[in-house]
């Protein structure tokens, strides 16, 4: 029987008939030589509660010593390694913030820039306004590098603090000139300062200078940033690759000082649509699981995830939502933590979790079309090579006797059959067969298969095959 072709990367197409397979809450991992298949499609890692902050809306987070400081809506919360949180005082605002920490000893200083200005924050008291001289413009982001806090401004100015301090000399500033229409973000990456504007990125580095702005301009990258939160990859603990969404709605990876396109047209169409509505809703974040470095791009209508390890894309959705609930990944206490759009919690990303914080995590895989245009095909049988017999010894029926829903489309994905349910095998039932019989005649577009697994057990798809009989009528 011919193999069913499963996608390596999600490509829904501009219309369903143009699609080339989809991976939703599922990603591809290479098995290696000698395996039953070259690769396996796994369920995406789930989410488990780590800490209840008591306040909604994560705005930003930063590790400071033995605690994680999380900016929530109007408040600052301090969290320890066991997930116990305590209120740490006021932090005005509800919009996203940037946070940076310096190397001051014995207690580092932490600064946050909010929509109401810059604040110095700590785990022991409420945030206090940072006294910035009136000769310097109001900042919109902060970053730390080489002992200095760097602040960007909407007029293109970037200024620095004193060395490992929070005082200022009004001469310690520069203004980004190359194709500049202001600045949105400062990012410290590979010992250089990247100043992101809407049409160019200025790169600064070299030995720190004693007078004036501490760094020298090294070069400019002729590609801007589509929105202030559309860049990630510089975070501590990730894979040291800077990735951002350009002003042209294309996702770029930094290669030397050159922007290297990594997005597909499907991703770019979604980004362009989101940018027409609200560019501040375009949000990039990162996390790692089992050696996979994931870069997540969350849009109002969909979340795309780029697997830096494989160079492939997949989609993530939430339960009864087209957007993933996770936001703003940060590595703390040896875990990758994310904010939650649906609760007051910080969540841990975990390969061992098969739900999204208790809600179903549906793995959906849609095959590439199997067709012989313009012939129609009869499909008397199809078999699906799942890892079987992984039901749990105790729990409800979804855990002890898991199932997969199998449906198909004969018109290129425009419409789908009602799903047929097949067992994936209770614990130890490794001889379970997953197949469907007598599924009828395709259209000229051929046959596209869809498999859905929502039950909270380990799930992996290795392949599939279908019997095919050509028809001339």
Domain end position, chosen among 359, 379, 411? 359
CA distance 452 to 166: 54
For residue 226, name the pLDDT band (cuts at 50, 70, 90): very high
What's residue 107's pLDDT?
85
- Of the candidate ranges 1-5, 26-30, 369-373, the one whose mean pLDDT is the lowest: 369-373
Residues 153 and 218 occupy one common structural domain = yes
Give residue 180's pLDDT band: very low, low, confident or very high (50, 70, 90). Answer: low
Can you give the pLDDT at residue 455? 98
Residues 60 and 86 both lie in one domain: yes
pLDDT confidence of residue 376: 85
Cα gap 16→3, rounded to integer Å:
22
Q: Would you say residue 172 lies in a domain?
A: yes
- pLDDT at position 216, please? 95
**Is 90 exceeded by the pLDDT of residue 211?**
no
CB 368 within 8 A of CB 20: yes
Say what percent of the chain tops pLDDT 90: 87
Q: What is the pLDDT of residue 149?
A: 97
Q: What is the pLDDT of residue 265?
A: 97
If one counts the domains in the chain, the total is 2
pLDDT band at 207 (very low <50, low <70, confident <90, very high): confident
With cut-offs at 50, 70 and 90, classify the pLDDT of residue 473: low
233, 310: one domain: yes
Residue 16 pLDDT level (bands cut at 50, 70, 90): confident
Residues 242 and 264 placed together within one structural domain of the fold: yes
Does some domain include residue 11?
A: no
Per-residue pLDDT, averaged over 245-269, amounts to 97
Domain that holds residue 160: 55-359
Q: What is the pLDDT of residue 35?
A: 84
**Domain-embedded: residue 6:** no
List, for residues 113-131, the tens digit of each pLDDT value.
999 999 999 756 678 999 9
Query: What is the reported pLDDT for 448?
Result: 95
Question: What is the residue-wise DSSP string for 399-435?
Answer: HHS-EEEEEEESSTTSS-PPPEEEE--STT-TT---E
Domain finish residue from 333, 359, 385: 359
Residues 66 and 112 in one domain: yes
pLDDT tens for 316-347 read 999 999 999 999 999 999 999 999 999 999 99
With bands split at pLDDT 50, 70 and 90, how would you rate the model's confidence at 213? very high
Q: Is the pLDDT of residue 306 over 70?
A: yes
Same domain (yes/no): 36, 71: no
Last residue of a domain, one of 340, 359, 378: 359
Residue 236 is predicted with a pLDDT of 93
Is the pLDDT assigned to residue 258 strictly greater than 70? yes
As beta bridge partners, residue 449 has 408
For residue 291, give the CATH number of its domain: 2.130.10.10
Pair 198, 289 in one domain: yes
Verify that 458 and 336 share a domain, yes or no. Answer: no
The upper half-sphere exposure of residue 289, i.e. CA atoms within 13 Å in the direction of its Cβ, equals 24
Does residue 438 fall inside a structural domain?
yes
Residue 179 has pLDDT above 70, yes or no: no
Verify that 113 and 216 share a domain, yes or no: yes
In the structure encoding, which two tokens stand for residue 250, read together?
């294309």
Of 434 and 374, the structure prediction assigns the larger pLDDT to 434
Same domain, 390 and 444: yes
Q: What is the pLDDT of residues 406-419, one digit of tens each?
A: 999 999 899 999 99
% of the chain with per-residue pLDDT over 70:
98
Average pLDDT of the chain is 94
**Is the backbone of residue 226 left (phi > 0), alpha (psi -120 to 50) or beta?**
alpha
Q: Specify the CATH number for the domain of residue 467.
A: 2.60.120
Cα–Cα distance for residue pair 171/399, rounded to 1 Å: 64
Q: Tell me whether residue 400 is in a domain.
A: yes
The reported pTM is 0.95
- 375 with 336, same domain: the answer is no
In a domain, 49, yes or no: no
* Residue 232 neighbours by CB distance under 10 Å: 23
Residues 134 and 161 in one domain: yes
Residues 20-72: pLDDT tens digits? 999 999 999 999 888 888 999 999 999 999 999 999 999 999 999 899 999 99
Can you give the pLDDT at residue 123? 58
Supply 108's token pair. 């580092």
CA 204: distance to chain centroid? 27
Please tell me the distance from the alpha carbon of residue 435 to that of residue 8, in angstroms, as a whole number.
22
Instruction: Say how far apart CA 319 and CA 358 lie, in whole Å.
Output: 10
Task: Report yes or no on 297 lying in a domain.
Answer: yes
User: Would you state the pLDDT for residue 177?
Assistant: 79
The pLDDT of residue 33: 82
Query: Is 351 among the domain residues?
Result: yes
């Amino acid at each position: 029987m011919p193999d069913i072709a499963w996608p390596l990367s999600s490509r829904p197409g501009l219309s369903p008939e143009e699609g080339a397979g989809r991976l939703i809450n599922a990603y591809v991992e290479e098995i290696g030589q000698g395996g039953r298949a070259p690769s396996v499609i796994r369920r995406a890692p789930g989410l488990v509660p780590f800490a209840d902050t008591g306040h909604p809306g994560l705005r930003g987070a930063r590790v400071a010593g033995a605690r994680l400081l999380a900016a929530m809506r109007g408040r600052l919360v301090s969290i320890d390694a066991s997930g116990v949180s305590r209120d740490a005082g006021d932090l005005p605002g509800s919009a996203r913030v940037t946070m940076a920490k310096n190397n001051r000893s014995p207690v580092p200083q932490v600064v946050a820039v909010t929509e109401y200005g810059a604040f110095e924050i700590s785990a022991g008291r409420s945030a206090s306004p940072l006294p910035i001289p009136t000769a310097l413009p109001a900042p919109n982001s902060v970053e730390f590098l080489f002992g200095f806090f760097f602040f960007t401004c909407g007029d293109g100015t970037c200024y620095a603090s004193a060395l490992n301090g929070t005082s200022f000399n009004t001469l310690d500033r520069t203004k980004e000139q190359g194709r500049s229409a202001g600045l949105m973000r400062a990012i410290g990456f590979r010992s250089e300062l990247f100043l992101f504007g809407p049409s160019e990125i200025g790169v600064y580095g070299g030995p720190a200078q004693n007078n004036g702005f501490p760094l020298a301009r090294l070069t400019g990258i002729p590609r801007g940033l589509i929105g202030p939160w559309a860049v990630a990859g510089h975070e501590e603990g990730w894979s040291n690759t800077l990735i951002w969404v350009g002003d042209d709605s294309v996702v770029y990876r930094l290669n030397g000082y050159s922007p290297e396109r990594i997005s597909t047209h499907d991703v770019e169409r979604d980004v362009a649509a989101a940018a027409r509505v609200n560019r501040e809703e375009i949000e990039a974040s990162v996390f790692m699981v089992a050696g996979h470095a994931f870069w997540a791009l969350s849009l109002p209508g969909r979340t795309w995830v780029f697997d830096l390890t494989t160079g492939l894309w997949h989609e993530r959705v939430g339960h009864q939502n087209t957007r993933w609930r996770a936001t703003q990944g940060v590595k703390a206490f040896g875990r990758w933590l994310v904010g939650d759009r649906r609760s007051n919690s910080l969540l841990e990303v975990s390969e061992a979790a098969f739900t999204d914080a208790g809600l179903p995590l549906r793995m959906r895989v849609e095959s590439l079309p199997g067709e012989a245009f313009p012939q129609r095909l009869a499909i008397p049988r199809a078999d699906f090579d799942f890892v079987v017999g992984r039901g749990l010894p105790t729990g409800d029926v979804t855990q002890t006797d898991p199932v997969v829903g199998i449906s198909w489309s004969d018109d290129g994905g425009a419409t789908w059959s009602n799903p047929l349910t097949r067992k994936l095998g209770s614990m130890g039932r490794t001889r379970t067969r997953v197949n469907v019989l007598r599924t009828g005649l395709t259209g000229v577009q051929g046959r596209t298969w869809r498999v859905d697994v929502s039950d909270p057990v380990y799930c992996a798809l290795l392949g599939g095959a279908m019997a095919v009989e050509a028809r001339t009528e």
